[in-house]
Homo-oligomer: A and B are copies of this chain.
Amino acid sequence: MSDAELPQPETESTQLDEDDRLKPEFVDAVLDAVEDGDDEAVRQLVEPLHPADIADLFELTPSERRPALAKAIADLLDGEVFAEMNDYVREDLIDALEPHEVADIASELDTDDAVAIIEDLDADDQREVLRAMEPDDRAAIEEALSYPEESAGRLMQRELIAVPEHWTVGDVIDYLRADDALTTDFWEVFVVDPSHKPVGTCKLSWIMRTPRPVPLSDVMQREQTLIAVDMDQEEVALRFQKYALISAAVVDGSGRLVGMVTVDDIVHIISEEAGEDALLLSGAGEGDINEPVITSYRARVRWLIANLATALVAATVITLFEGTISKMVALAALMPIVAGVGGNAGTQTMAVTVRALATNQLTESNTLRAIRREISIALLNGVTVAIVIGIAVSLYYQHIELGGVIAAAMMANILIAGLAGVVVPLTLERLRADPAVASSIFVTMTTDSMGFFVFLGLASASGLVG
| B336/A176 in contact, CB under 8 A | no
Contacts of A223 in B (CB 8 A): 9, 50
Contacts of A332 in B (CB 8 A): 318, 322, 325, 329, 332, 335
A146 within 8 A of B: no
- Give A7 Cβ to nearest chain B Cβ, in Å: 4
A319 within 8 A of B: yes
| B365/A255 in contact, CB under 8 A | no
- Stretch in A39-47, A71-79, A100-108, A277-285 with 4+ CB within 8 Å of B: A277-285
The digit string for A328-361, where 1 denotes a CB below 8 A from any CB of B, is 0110111111011100110111111111101111
Say yes or no: A293-B380 contact (C-beta < 8 A), given A271-B274, A352-B287, A355-B287: yes
Contacts of A245 in B (CB 8 A): 264
| Chain B residue with the shortest CB-CB distance to A289 | B356
Say yes or no: A336-B360 contact (C-beta < 8 A), given A326-B326, A380-B301: no
A428 within 8 A of B: no
Contacts of A296 in B (CB 8 A): 352, 373, 377
- Stretch in A114-122, A125-133, A134-142, A197-205 with 4+ CB within 8 Å of B: A197-205
Kindly state the separation between the CA atoms of A425 and B275 in the bound complex, as whole angstroms: 16
| A279/B351 in contact, CB under 8 A | yes
Query: Which of B282, B293, B314 is close to A351, meaning CB atoms less than 8 Å apart?
Result: B282
A82 within 8 A of B: no
Say yes or no: A377-B297 contact (C-beta < 8 A), given A173-B208, A263-B267, A392-B312: yes
A24 within 8 A of B: yes
Contacts of A270 in B (CB 8 A): 267, 270-271, 274
| Chain B residue with the shortest CB-CB distance to A253 | B3
Kindly state the separation between the CA atoms of A303 and B263 in the bound complex, as whole angstroms: 37
The digit string for A194-221, where 1 denotes a CB below 8 A from any CB of B, is 0101100001111111110000000000
Kindly state the separation between the CA atoms of A353 and B7 in the bound complex, as whole angstroms: 32
Say yes or no: A226-B275 contact (C-beta < 8 A), given A62-B369, A239-B20, A318-B332: no
Query: Which of B172, B355, B444 is close to A279, meaning CB atoms less than 8 Å apart?
Result: B355
| A6/B275 in contact, CB under 8 A | no
Contacts of A21 in B (CB 8 A): 360, 363
A394 within 8 A of B: no
Contacts of A207 in B (CB 8 A): 208
Contacts of A60 in B (CB 8 A): 363, 365-366
Contacts of A271 in B (CB 8 A): 241, 270-271, 274, 359
Main secondary structure, interface of A, reads: helix
| B344/A303 in contact, CB under 8 A | yes
Query: Which of B173, B177, B244 is close to A264, meaning CB atoms less than 8 Å apart?
Result: B244
Kindly state the separation between the CA atoms of A354 and B289 in the bound complex, as whole angstroms: 11
Contacts of A243 in B (CB 8 A): 50, 52
Beyond A6-B255, A289-B366, A305-B388, list 12 extra A-B contacts (CB 8 Å).
Answer: A1-B193, A19-B360, A24-B365, A50-B242, A52-B242, A186-B205, A284-B348, A287-B352, A293-B376, A296-B373, A304-B414, A315-B333
A-B contact pairs, 29 of them (CB 8 A): A5-B254, A7-B255, A19-B238, A28-B365, A52-B242, A59-B361, A60-B365, A60-B366, A173-B208, A177-B211, A186-B205, A266-B267, A267-B270, A271-B271, A274-B274, A275-B277, A279-B351, A281-B351, A282-B347, A282-B350, A287-B352, A289-B352, A293-B377, A297-B377, A304-B414, A314-B336, A315-B337, A322-B330, A329-B332
Q: A residues touching B (Cβ–Cβ < 8 Å)?
A: 1, 3, 5-9, 19-22, 24, 27-28, 50, 52, 56, 59-60, 62, 86, 172-173, 176-177, 182, 184-187, 193, 195, 197-198, 203-211, 223, 226, 228, 235, 238-246, 251, 253-255, 263-264, 266-268, 270-272, 274-275, 277-279, 281-284, 287-290, 293-294, 296-297, 300-301, 303-305, 307-308, 311-312, 314-316, 318-319, 322, 325-326, 329-330, 332-337, 339-341, 344-345, 347-356, 358-366, 369-370, 373, 376-377, 380-381, 384-385, 388-389, 392, 414, 444, 448, 452
